[in-house]
Amino acid sequence: MSSSAALALIAVALVTAIAALLVLARARQSARLDQLLAETARAREASESVDRRFDEFRRSVEERVRGVERSLSEGQKGLTEHLGESGKLMKDVGEQMGRVFEASQKIEQLAGNVTRLEDLLKPPKLRGTLGETFLEQALAQVLPASCWKMQYRFPDGVTVDAAVFVGERCVSVDSKFPLDNYRRAHEAADESERKKALRDFQGDVRRHVEAIRAKYIRPECGTYDFALMYVPAEAVYCELAGDGEEGALADYAIERRVVPVSPRLLYAYLATVAMGLRGLELQESARDVQEKLADLTRLWERVENPFEKVGAHLSNAQKQYEEATRAVGRFGARLEGIAEGAAERLETETPDLPSLVPPT
């Protein structure tokens, strides 16, 4: 093969290669163009989707803005109303604070009065007078005036604070107010001092119980075989009724026929006595009614015999009246028969009467 033919083959191969490259390049360009067109279409669709989403977002933002504006407007209106109500509330609070201030002043004044009252309760004699006053008020509220008496004097001159009359006997009531050692026991900071004050308080109560038993339980003088120890303070009574180291003081008192009572228990006891007194009144009324019935029975016995005699006389008179009625009936029948016979006879046997000649 000659060099020219080789060159021609090379040229043809080159042309063929170039043509193939051109075809390949054109095919690649066409594929890229299709890809670009597809991507452009997708970009356009994405842009349209973004536009739609943007419009939706804009509308949503506008709606939210309008909602926020409405909320702000309503909130401003509510805030205005709330501020008005807050103003009224502040005014009411100011008035209430003024009332609280006045009440605090009254409480402070009352505290001062209570302090003065505690100072008044320090003298034992004044405490005794106060206890007697409370006792008198309790008796006056529950019992009739004829059923109790303050400062009741026994035949030997011993005087008890009060006596409650039940039937033919009375119940002695003595007021005791052991406050000093009770207060010391509750105000003591040291436990040993508190125990010592409690022992002193128990000793005071025992002495009061023994004094009441010795002086005011007098069956020979018309009292019952027990007495009441009136404790004007509920707190003191609770201490007295509570269990101590040596047992309850109330049990100690009851064993000696002395019954401790607080204001509430005294009221309950007096209410029971009042019911008993009403029962006695009913019994007395029943006794009076029974006596009157006995008098009526005796009067009836006096009236019964004459009444029976009157009944017998009336019965005899009735019988005689009935017999007289029958006799009058028979007499009337006979009289009627006689009258009828006479009439018939006159009709049948009438004589001829001569004519009367007038005188010449």
Rounded CA-CA distance 83/61 in Å is 31
Last residue of one domain, picked from the residues 228, 261, 277: 277
* 93 and 174, same domain (yes or no): no
* pLDDT, tens digit, 9 for 90 and up, residues 218-230: 999 889 999 999 9
Query: Which position has the token pair 């009739």?
Result: 144
Specify the number of domains making up the chain: 2
Per the domain annotation, does 242 fall within a domain? yes
Per the domain annotation, does 236 fall within a domain? yes
* 133 and 106, same domain (yes or no): no
pLDDT value, residue 173? 92
* 136 and 98, same domain (yes or no): no
Rounded CA-CA distance 138/141 in Å is 5
Residue range of the domain that includes 75: 28-121
Mean pLDDT, the chain, whole residue set: 75
* 202 and 86, same domain (yes or no): no
* pLDDT, tens digit, 9 for 90 and up, residues 115-167: 344 444 455 566 667 778 888 888 888 888 888 999 999 988 899 999 999 87
List own/partner pairs for 41-44 with CB under 8 A and 24 or more apart: none
* pLDDT, tens digit, 9 for 90 and up, residues 265-296: 888 888 887 777 676 666 666 667 777 777 76
* 92 and 182, same domain (yes or no): no
* 160 and 268, same domain (yes or no): yes
Asked whether the whole model's pTM tops 0.85, one would answer: no
